[in-house]
Amino acid sequence: MKAKKNIGIKIVCNNRKARFNYFFHELIEAGIVLKGSEVKSLRDGKANITDAYASDHNGEIYLINSHIPSYKESSYNNHEPRDSRKLLLNKKEINKLIGKVNREGLTIVPTKMYFKKGKAKVEIAIAKGKKLYDKRAVKKKRDWDREKARIFSKNK
């Protein structure tokens, strides 16, 4: 009998800071163009997208400031850790993203990087930045929920 192969999603990294700093309007899954050493480094689970963002350049969307550390077993063809990487999207999706960024003042932020059926994917969000008072309200609600949970657990 053949063993079942896991074809699920293997999450490499999350951008938890983005959920705190932005309101998400829409989530889009995009492929990403990588070199061999970048894929090897991602398979080890090493990546950081907390300070990353996406922008358009000549009608294409690039992921900028994402950090994929260099793969130590790679030789002469190693990659730059903070290189900009092209995102693979349809022309229709690219035009929609560029239009929303230019017209409405929204930004494109990566939220998650993962492998899906062996292919590296990035989940990007069309987002609007939160104001300081929005962040304070979220923090206040989170603290109150935590305190409420403590009170209920003591009373049981």
Locate the domains of the chain by residue range. 9-131
Name the band, by pLDDT with cuts 50, 70 and 90, for residue 105.
Answer: confident
Q: pLDDT tens digit string along 30-74?
A: 999 988 888 888 888 888 898 899 998 888 999 999 888 888 877
Pairing verdict, β 60-64 and 85-88: antiparallel
- Topology, domain 9-131: Small Protein B; Chain: A; (2.40.280)
Taking only the tens place, the pLDDT of each residue in 68-99 is 888 887 777 787 788 889 999 999 999 998 88
**8 pLDDT higher than 90:** no
Is pLDDT above 70 for 4? no
Q: What is the DSSP string of 57-69?
A: ETTEEEEES-B-P
Spatial separation of the C-alpha atoms in residues 75 and 82, rounded to whole Å: 18
Phi, psi of 137 (to 5 degrees): -65, -40
